[in-house]
Amino acid sequence: MTEIHGDCAAGFEPVRAAFEENFAGHGEIGAAFSVTRHGEAVVDLWAGWADPDRTTPWRADTLTNVWSTTKGMTALCAHHLADTGALDVDAPVAKYWPEFAAAGKQDIPVRWLLSHRSGVTGIGVERPVKVEELYDWDHITGLLAAQPPLFEPGTASGYHALSFGFLVGEVIRRVSGQDVRAYFAEHIAGPLDADFRIGLDSDDDLARCSTLVEPVLSDEMKTALTQAFANAGPVALAALANPRVQGRDANDPAWRRAILPALNGHGTARAIATVYGAVASGRLLSAEALATAREGQGREADVVGGLGNELALGFYLGSEERGFGPNPRAFGHDGLGGSSGGADPESGIAFGYTMNRMGPLMRDDPRKMALVNATFASPALA
């Protein structure tokens, strides 16, 4: 049996049981799960190992690359700026970033970046990009500014897997004068004492990182993935294959130190729950700003991944999948392989989940869903 560390308040015992079962029955190596209720911690659990060789125990302060769970944190920076009046999400991106007007993009509003509707799903494959190029902010934002939309803006959602962070992040930089790492640290993480960073900048933080383990795919999954890439059109290839990022890339110190606001947030489950808890309880955004952030853009099938979803502005809504609890208006963001953060303001619940053994799904990993479902099934919420 894996030794479980941390605290679980009375009435949330099903959460601890689900967390234990993720290790006993679902192959968890190292993980953490935290829940806040009305901004107060009620669950804070961690267990297992920070490395696949099982030599370094997972600790309360173990940092993990959480992939697209980072997108929610980046979106919060934009909404925080909008809450101050400095950013208008309905204004054209080009108002703040004039170079973005190139190639017919002059009328695309900021909200279409946040809702993956700009058509700029990535850089077209006619200009191949290497993973290492992602570490050069000005280079990538310059390429994206020159990139024509790959579908008609505003007509569909096409997941901006990599480009989201650069697009929204450059707007944040142009408006605030700070890069996303600095803005998030000063205005979000710092005031909340949340141990989350968008790109690491110290050796001490690098030493606290868990090692990600790539998902094990069945032969059937491998065949399906190969066929999907072979059949993918320009919209999906730009989003997912230029460059095609691998799980192991996130273990590279150069990746960890870069500013990749769609991909390389590093944090603890406690920090993710703390941030979403502050949003849900009204400590971070005004009621008006939160309503804007949760504003559904209509349910549709994403033209990149083909998944049905309902996006808000920078977040997924729980919608029919109930990915963040039983409330379809609950919101949050998952990361490739399993990590997640979300909130249900109506119940006052917020949560964060981190792990180092990646699963094969882009969202709603079974381990995360077991923990979320157990949270909302807990007697404390009856």
What confidence tens digit (pLDDT) does each residue in 256-305 have?
Answer: 999 999 999 999 999 999 999 999 999 999 999 999 999 999 998 899 98
Question: What is the C-alpha R_g of the chain?
Answer: 19
Residue 227 confidence class, pLDDT cut points 50, 70, 90? confident
Residue 222, pLDDT > 90, answer: no
Tell whether the model's pLDDT for residue 155 goes beyond 80: yes
Each residue of 192-206: b (16+ CB within 10 Å) or e?
bebbbbbbbeeeebe
The pLDDT score that the predictor gives to residue 195 is 98
* Adjacent-strand bridge partners of 45: 6, 33
DSSP letter (8 states) at residue 363: S
What pLDDT, on a 0 to 100 scale, did the predictor assign at position 374?
A: 98
How far is residue 1 CA from its own chain's centroid? 31
Span 11-28, pLDDT tens digits: 999 999 999 999 999 999
CATH of 4-73+182-381, one of 3.40.309.10, 3.40.710.10, 3.30.420.10, 3.40.50.720: 3.40.710.10
Looking at residue 229, its pLDDT comes to 79
Torsion over CA: 43, 49, 52, 56 (sign): positive
Q: Are strands 299-301 and 331-334 parallel, antiparallel or unpaired?
A: unpaired
pLDDT tens digit sequence for 142-153:
999 999 999 999
Average pLDDT, the chain: 96
Q: Cα(163)–Cα(167) distance, rounded to whole angstroms?
A: 6
Residue 322's pLDDT band (cuts 50, 70, 90): very high
Angle at Cα 336 formed by Cα 330 and Cα 339, nearest 5°?
Answer: 55
- Which residue type is seen at 172? I
Q: Determine phi and psi for 54, rounding to 5 degrees.
A: 60, 50
Domain ranges of the chain: 4-73+182-381
Residue 121, pLDDT score: 98
pLDDT, average across residues 175-197: 98
What does the pLDDT read at residue 316?
Answer: 97
Residue 228 has pLDDT above 80, yes or no: no
pLDDT for the residue 305: 85
CB 9 within 8 A of CB 331: no
Asked whether 71 and 333 are in contact (CB, 8 A), the reply is yes
Q: Is 68 a catalytic residue?
A: yes
Written as six digits, the tokens of 97 are 């970033």
pLDDT of residue 353: 98
Instruction: Indicate the SS3 state at residue 276.
Output: helix
pLDDT of 218 reads: 83
User: Is residue 361 scored above 80 in pLDDT?
Assistant: yes
Helices (H), 117-268: 137-146, 163-176, 180-184, 190-192, 203-207, 219-231, 234-240, 253-257
82 pLDDT band, cuts 50/70/90, is: very high
H or E segment and range at residue 35: strand 30-37
Quick: pLDDT tens for 59-77: 999 999 999 999 999 999 9
According to DSSP, the residues that pair with 355 across neighbouring strands are 31
For residue 143, how many other CB atoms are within 10 A of its CB?
A: 18
- Residue of 34, 68, 210, 319 marked active site: 68
Residues forming a β-bridge with 340: 334, 353
Q: What percent of the chain has pLDDT over 70?
A: 100
